Structure 1
Amino acid sequence: METAPENKAFPVSWDMLHRDARALAWRLSSLGEWKAIVCITRGGLVPAGIVARELGIRTIETVCIASYHDYENQGELQVIKPVDPKVIDLEGGEGGGVLVIDDLVDTGKTAKVVRQMLPKAHFATVYAKPVGVPMVDTFVTEVSQDTWIYFPWDMGWQFQPPLSKDTRG
């Protein structure tokens, strides 16, 4: 019996990401009238653009937080750019009427920092891992905690070895 690989890979193509971000927009479309999107950079930029287009949202703000400093291990969080106070003050303040969009919630550490900035905002991600799920309001696809998602902006064209070590055809 073959043992499971230590790290599970979930490669996401541009087509998959577009489809899943549109699915996120469909879920969000019936939940309210959104005044703005705050995307968590950098991963939230592409999904936020797709959601903004689908929902007709013109105000898009960023919050810039670095957490993966070596593309493998989540390190100390660093807020590089906070949310513009004009966006925080929409709909009575604290992020009311604001969608926060990211590509993935992993441990929820980044979402927790942004929730402190925008406690009334609606948090949505395309992908979610179990530990981070409680920190988001809406997501499309859940993957296991030990899965590494390879986003299309991180990948190039190369051979992918099969899961099985038996390559005898």
Structure 2
Amino acid sequence: MVNNHSEPGAPERGGKPFPVSWDQFHRDCRALTWRLNEVGPFHAIIAITRGGLVPAAIVARELGLRVIDTVCVASYDHDQQGELRVLKGVSADIAKLGGGTGKGLLIVDDLVDTGKTGRLVREMLPDAHFAAVYAKPQGRPLVDTFITEVSQDTWIHFPWDTALSFQPPIRDGAG
């Protein structure tokens, strides 16, 4: 079965379902921002794609940040899971803002699951502040700030993955 979480080793969709509506996700992102506001200021946000794009946009708005970059990581192609690959790293301009180690930079993701992606990004920017909306026990030690912890066998149904029932991305044959 294909794993639609961003990290290798994440549970299959048969885990405990945890549906998250757009309203709930927005509230959770704002709650995350309240915590981050106490920690900042930050020079820039780095979203881990793709899941980190939506929370990064909300956090950037709430913190008044205009500089947003991405780290693009892939763990599988279609249904073949493999090693993590960095498709795009942090831009040189953003890395300079963080002194090369990430100091004053904010990394944002929707979920830290097994921690494999988080470890990879931490190696790139060891002094950045890492925030996720949701955290699972295996990945939780990697994040500095998060809102909700769920069990490792929980399957989060993000609002962009669902309608009245799960909807695969259009590219994968959804009509």
TM-score range, shorter chain: 0.7 to 0.9
Report if the CA contact (8 A) 1:128-1:141 is conserved. Answer: yes
TM-score after normalising by structure 2: 0.82
Where does the alignment leave 5 or more consecutive residues of structure 2 unmatched? 1-13, 167-175
Aligned residues of 1:88 and 1:96 also touching (Cα < 8 A): no
TM-score, length basis structure 1: 0.85
User: What is the 5 A alignment of 1:121-160?
Assistant: 121-158=128-165
Q: How many residues align?
A: 153
How far apart are residue 46 of structure 1 and its match? 0.2
Quote the sequence identity (%): 65
Unpaired runs of 5+ residues, structure 1, are 1-5, 160-169
2:44 maps to a residue whose letter is A
Indicate whether 1:95 and 2:105 are aligned. no
Aligned match of 2:7: none
The match for 1:54 is 62
Question: Which residue does 1:82 correspond to in 2?
Answer: 89
The answer on 1:8 being equivalent to 2:16 is yes
> Structure 1 residues 68 and 134, CA, compared in 2 at 3 Å: closer, same or farther?
farther
Please give the alpha-carbon distance, in whole angstroms, between the structure 2 residues aligned to 1:60 and 1:91. Answer: 13
Q: Are 2:45 and 1:37 aligned? A: yes
* Cα shift at 1:74: 6.4
1:8 is matched by which residue type in structure 2?
Answer: K
Q: Residue by residue, what CA displacement relative to the aligned partner does 1:75-111 show, whole Å, maximum 9, x if unpaired?
A: 4211111110111111433111100000000011101
Cα distance in 2 for residues equivalent to 1:66 and 1:91: 24
Aligned to 1:165: none
Secondary structure of the residue that 1:99 maps to in structure 2?
Answer: strand
